[in-house]
Amino acid sequence: MIWLLLFIVVLVSGSAFAVEVAPRISDREIVDRLIRLEEGQRSMQRQMDDRFSAMQKQMDNRFSAMERQVDNRFSAMERQVDDRFSAMEKQVDNRFSAMEKRMELMEQWISERMEAQWHLTLVLIAAILGLVGFVVWDRSTALKPLERRFDRIADDLELESPGGSKLTRLVGALRELAPEDRRLADVLRRFSLLKDLPRQA
């Protein structure tokens, strides 16, 4: 078994030492090939630079076109927004001016009404004062004849007499006559001016 392993190792290591021999190339051929290789690389570099510059120009053109489109759209949007805001401001200004006019008209109407009510109140106060003055004047002028009449009646009835008024004395005299005159007693009793008299025997 060890021999078998050793044999496999020798076989593998023998194939690893095998080298292929290349044909002989002169220095001039190497230099020519290197020059051609450099020229190819330079042409490839130029082509790549041209392609990259063309791509960059295309991308720059596209980006500039997109920027112009975006700028145009934004400017159009700004104009639209400005127009809308100016229209809204005009509407708001018109509405506020209309509201101010209405408020001024309302204030004028209220002030006119308040002035009219104030004038009406003054007229009512003057009328009430005039009525009170008329009532006082009328009472003083209307009561004077009554006072004079009452004074005459009081004088006629002698209300301040120490023996009583004429009416009291008259009723007393009739009461004294009532026991003798039956008709007079009935009349006095009917008008509640006579109490029941003691019956004569």
For 67, other C-beta atoms within 10 Å of its C-beta total 10
pTM of the model: 0.33
Q: What is the mean pLDDT of the chain?
A: 83
CA distances to 101, 111, 112, 152 from 106, in Å: 8, 8, 10, 68
* pLDDT, tens digit, 9 for 90 and up, residues 131-186: 999 888 887 787 777 778 877 777 776 666 677 777 788 788 888 888 888 888 88
Nearest-10 Cα torsion for 40, 41, 44, 48: -170
